[in-house]
Structure 1
């Protein structure tokens, strides 16, 4: 076996461990797709659509990855030919004509043909050549102004066609764009090339054409200054489907190029000439016409051929867009003297790596060096690349659980909830993969809980008859019981909260006792898990059963839904500070409900025992049951319980402890208010 084959196999196994196995990547994509599908009907009802894009959506989970989102209004219809306007109801939609004559390749103008459907778009048009055209500058300013006025986000700035900001310390890009169901004639050569090279596969090609493209608010900068009337064609949705169609070796090679770009080429460089989009474009070209054998023992050669393509593009100063080759994506960067000098320096840098050879070149990557150095230094070492695919049930379930619980379906009102629930029911009878089915199951539980509390909050009426109250109570109870049957272990605590809210303390205690007994099982998967016991216990269980019996997660209280009085103040203050939900550890909530219910029933000894359990949990926990990001609210909950039972000094201490934690829920004002109440009582 050649040295390159040995290094390739070690690299493949290492990249599977670092980036993900085929199963893990599939999980990430299917869960993300299903989450977007579930939320689609409610968003369409509100006249808006969006989609996640970028490396996170493609299946990568780099720590440095940002979150990219594209959004568009559904009452605008973009056409490429006047004849297409006949198919649209002019009373419901603004018709916009995409013009690609006398524009640089890859750029278009948007002419508004009909009266606008809103006053907003009316203020964003400018006259040009006997027509009204939409200004990309004014359109781009709209989301930027919105995010600034909201005041919830940090470091808001404009970045290309996007508004860039930090949400919960995550770097995020949002682009408000237009969607076009038709493909521009500029993409004709790409469609012709598909038939010559037979890539992507037929079903992927048909799917891409059926979903159209987007137009983002940024003009060309060939002459140095941006043209206000030009918009750039975006193929983010098509690119995502092309990445999905890659085999795993191709996907890992793509990831390897991204790592090389970040850790080597762009390291310590502020103004970067190359970005990850050029790497993606390189992959598309090399897959379609590159004559490469894409397999694990050839990964080194795959990377090297892609690297040489990138080097050639930098040398020539030409990076052809994959869909519109006449669009040289380096043009705007080379429009200034500084850009030309940067390209020359970059070519010198890349050529230096080329002269080193592929193995020594990759040794400059800290991440990759750990994977291949042992094999390079010892000719007797050999790693089976397929071992990188082997993961235990616990490892796969951790990946699946992390992806599913990252989904947050925030409903604005009862009607949104109704649309989502009705669509979930229609999805449940379709043919789905096991990961899509489990995602749907988790979302069903969430929607049932939200439906129950939204109904409870909207149906509260002091003049209701006993019969109406009974029916409402029965409906809410049944929804929460059903959620408990399809959701995870902690989902049953919503029913306990409802019983507590409606003064049925014994029923609430019965539910919390059952949940607590399940939480103590050795195979429970929360933020940590005993892998050995988990693998032994769940062997033979279906994914659905694993979630219902072994998975535990935080209780999420959304800002627009009232749950119980004890959290009302925290929810309001947290919402005012831009947080959409409170997250509570199920271990903390179980003890809290036990304290409060026993106190209301006059069971003093049980109440004090539960309070002691809660104190002990927070005092000695190392993050296993109360993660650090939940400790601010957890200490606050302990203080509330102590305050209720009359331990004022203990409550004050707990509130002070809460202030010392990292304020992830932004409830500092609540803590100070509750501390002031305690001090006032102590002074009296």
Structure 2
């Protein structure tokens, strides 16, 4: 099984069976080919849908990093790059002729007398035209330059003054503002974009053509999309490095990762796992995942490896040896600009020697060093203990339609569309219609359908909030239009999207109709074939909806939390919660559809005078919260769930119960940031109790 080689290393990389077992195990851990493709397709579509709104607001955005590449590891953070459309970055002064200096801010990129991979940005337009960022400018050699360090501080202070980010423990990290949103870490970088490639990358372009990787079409796409400059200087100490900006090729890297076959992608993931769980485990990290990505680019482009599932261990081992070689040489060349040694002033004598010694120990162990990783050990151990343990690498043998849909639902339901104004709604709907005519993958079309349902709901309630001045006849027509829009949203969206129609019926005193919708929704949510908060009975799901079109599967069997835009009033009973949630920097109210059903049921029965049914719905809501084991009302929605129970108890006259529920709401994790609303309601209950006692 495992033999000793002449250099005393234990070898597994020559055993195809172990490579295939590792391939399948990593598919289950990192993602199968179809799942990774869905993740990328959905994020691509999200960016395309949002682009017209971003352009209208003058700010462009792009997701980058491992999350955008298709990884969903615990360590995968969400990286976002922002840049202002008004700023135009050029590499030659002759390019400035195509821009209007009264509308655009022109920055000339200068790369003389700067380390490879770094530039200075000289301002060519009048500083008076950009007063808002004038504090980021500095004089140097007779010119005015955009200071990377001052820009970084300006951007950080902008976030620090935002109530939304004040809750996220933000800090400066390299060129980014870093924080934590729930369990996910995020990085945001404000940068400048250019479609003109710098001279420093000409050798890279020639090398790509020589080695025919990436393919010509991908290379052309990379060149069309351009690059960015991010606000961080080189590690070389000098008088001007605070003015320096680093050339960033994140968008190009994203295309390169998407060009990888699945064995290459899993090898990249294997390097990332090894880095986190073996090399950097309980040590000060000297290597980062960007080095693993760069290693993959170099090894793929050189073309010396056979990237097949039964050669995965061999590919990993050769990548690992390249990494050791770079540490030994003290030179890790950037893939796009090899003259940029990314180890400069990072791998000094003592730290490099220590890291080299550590890596050499793993080299002596051979590929069995992977067993030091708990994740990889759990994958490889069964194959090491049983010579007959074999797994097929054919994707169809270890993935079902339920798994694929679960992946698609997880990705699509993370898309949140935030409309501040009617113009945003118009632009989103127009973008949606245009993109629907393009050639799209099935899950991209489903993303468009889901987003359209969401936008239609926001449109309906925005119009409802603005119809106070309508005449009687116009109100009737508008009411019918709003109902039709919400019915269409219910047909397009997931199961819970029909509840927005029930919300509108309750709001307009059509209580019987609201109860009918509530009954239908409750029936659907009680079926055993639904994907409910990332859990599914695979056999029942495939048996009942597996043969339906993808859009019907979402409409009949997909469930997630409801999202209420805090800029839009849905019902008066939640007005206070939405107001304080928005004041605390949270643009949305997130709540369980089961809780919404019981809320509307209690309120509708109460308005109709059906006291027994009202109290039964109230009991059902209380039972749901007391007996649920984080299934029907997830932990992040418990603050609003207990608040809603308190509101219902308060309305029916159970002041003691309402007070208890509000106090429980305060003890929950404040995901929706409604604590001020809770305190106001507590005071209201206490005042009411006091008046009763006085009477």
What TM-score, normalized to structure 2? 0.95
CA contact (8 A) 1:220 1:226 kept: no
The structural deviation recorded for 1:681 is 2.0
Take 2:594 and 2:504, find their aligned partners in 1: how far apart are those partners? 18
C-alpha contact (below 8 Å) 1:14/1:388 kept by paired residues: no
- Partner of 1:341 in structure 2? 350
How many residues matched? Answer: 676
Rounded Cα–Cα distance in structure 2 between residues aligned with 1:400 and 1:224: 49
**Ranges of 4+ aligned residues in structure 1 off by more than 3 Å:** none
Compute the displacement of 1:169 (Å).
4.2
The aligned residue for residue 423 of structure 2 is 415
Q: Which of 493, 513, 531 does residue 525 from structure 1 map onto?
A: 531
Superposition map of 1:110-149 within 5 A: 110-116=121-127, 117-149=129-161
Alignment match of 2:212 (pick from 191, 198, 203): 198
- Whether 2:506 is the aligned partner of 1:500: answer yes
> How far has the Cα of 1:675 moved from its partner?
2.2
Find the residue that maps to 2:161 and give its secondary structure: helix
> 3-state SS of the aligned residue for 2:424?
helix
Secondary structure of the 1:674 match is helix
2:414 counterpart (403, 406, 417): 406
Looking at structure 1, the residues matched to 395 and 59 of structure 2 have their Cα atoms a distance apart, in angstroms, of 45
Secondary structure in structure 1 of the residue aligned to 2:523: helix
207, 210, 214: which one aligns with 2:224: 210
1:89 is displaced (CA, Å) by 2.2
Once the two structures are superposed, residues 325-352 of structure 1 have per-residue CA deviations (whole angstroms, 9 ceiling, x without a partner) of 1111111314xxxx32111100111011
* 1:219 Cα deviation after fit: 1.1
**8 A Cα contact 2:402 2:541, kept in partner:** yes
Deviation per residue, 1:478-528 (Å, 9 max, x gap): 221111111111001111111111222122112212211222222122123
Query: SS at 2:532's partner residue?
Result: coil
Match of 2:242, SS?
A: coil
Partner of 1:154, secondary structure, is coil
Worse-superposed segment, 432-441 or 223-232:
223-232
C-alpha separation in 2, matches of 1:342 and 1:458: 64
Matches within 5 A, 1:617-656: 617-656=624-663
Q: CA deviation at 1:387?
A: 5.5
- Three-state SS of the structure 2 residue aligned to 1:228 is helix
Q: Please state if 1:35 is matched with 2:46.
A: yes
Post-superposition offset of 1:657: 2.6
**1:104, distance to aligned residue in structure 2 (A):** 1.0
Q: CA RMSD in A?
A: 1.7
1:384 alignment partner in structure 2: 392
Equivalent position SS for 1:562: coil
Q: Secondary structure at the match of 1:63?
A: coil
* Cα pair distance change 1:201/1:387, threshold 3 Å: closer
**Within 1, Cα distance between the matches of 2:109 and 2:122?**
7
Q: Confirm or deny: 8 A CA contact 1:522 1:533 kept in the other structure.
A: yes
Deviations 1:38-70 (A, max 9, x none): 111101100001111111110000112222111
Deviation at 1:13, TM superposition (A): 0.8
User: Structure 1 residue 616: deviation in Å?
Assistant: 2.3
The residue number in structure 2 matching 1:183 is 197
* Secondary structure, counterpart of 1:381 in structure 2: coil
Structure 1 residues 226 and 393, CA, compared in 2 at 3 Å: closer, same or farther?
Answer: farther
Q: Give 1:20 shift.
A: 0.7
Secondary structure of the equivalent of 1:179? strand
Distance 1:290 1:389 in 2: 30
Deviation per CA, 1:382-402: give whole Å up to 9, x if none: 222225862122211111111
Match of residue 14, structure 1, among 20, 25, 33: 25
Q: Distance in 1 between matches of 2:190 and 2:85?
A: 12
The alpha-carbon distance between structure 1 residues 55 and 226, as it changes in their structure 2 partners (threshold 3 A), is farther
Q: In 1, Cα distance between the equivalents of 2:349 and 2:434?
A: 56
How far did residue 411 of structure 1 move? 1.6
Q: Aligned pair 1:572/2:579, yes or no?
A: yes
Residues 35-114 of structure 1 correspond to what in structure 2 (within 5 A)?
A: 35-114=46-125
In the alignment, the residues of structure 2 paired with residue 42 and residue 82 of structure 1 have an alpha-carbon distance, to the nearest angstrom, of: 31
**Do 1:16 and 1:388's aligned partners in 2 also have CA atoms closer than 8 Å?**
no
- Residues 4, 31 of structure 1: alpha-carbon distance in 2 compared, 3 angstrom cutoff: same
Distance 2:102 2:409 in 1: 45
Contact 2:263 2:309 in 1 (8 A): yes
What is the deviation of 1:667? Answer: 1.9
Q: Is the 8 A contact 2:136 2:154 kept in 1?
A: no
- In structure 1, what is the equivalent of residue 364 of structure 2? 355
Q: Distance in 2 between matches of 1:387 and 1:307?
A: 27
Cα distance in 2, alignment partners of residues 387 and 65 from structure 1: 24
C-alpha contact (below 8 Å) 1:22/1:389 kept by paired residues: no
Asked if the contact 2:228/2:247 (under 8 Å) is kept, the reply is: yes
Counterpart CA distance in 2 for 1:572 and 1:480 is: 24
Q: Which moved more, 1:588-597 or 1:661-670?
A: 661-670
User: What is the SS of the residue equivalent to 1:118?
Assistant: helix
Output the CA distance in 2 between the equivalents of 1:313 and 1:459: 67
Q: Distance in 2 between matches of 1:576 and 1:167?
A: 18
- Tell me the residue number matched to 1:285: 298
**2: CA distance between counterparts of 1:98 and 1:59?**
32
- Range with bigger deviation, 527-536 or 113-122: 113-122
- Is the 2:32–2:395 Cα contact (8 Å) retained in structure 1? no
Q: 2:619 aligns with which of 612, 618, 635?
A: 612
Distance, in Å, in 2 between the alignment partners of 1:53 and 1:173 is 9
Q: Structure 1 regions of 5+ residues with no counterpart? A: none
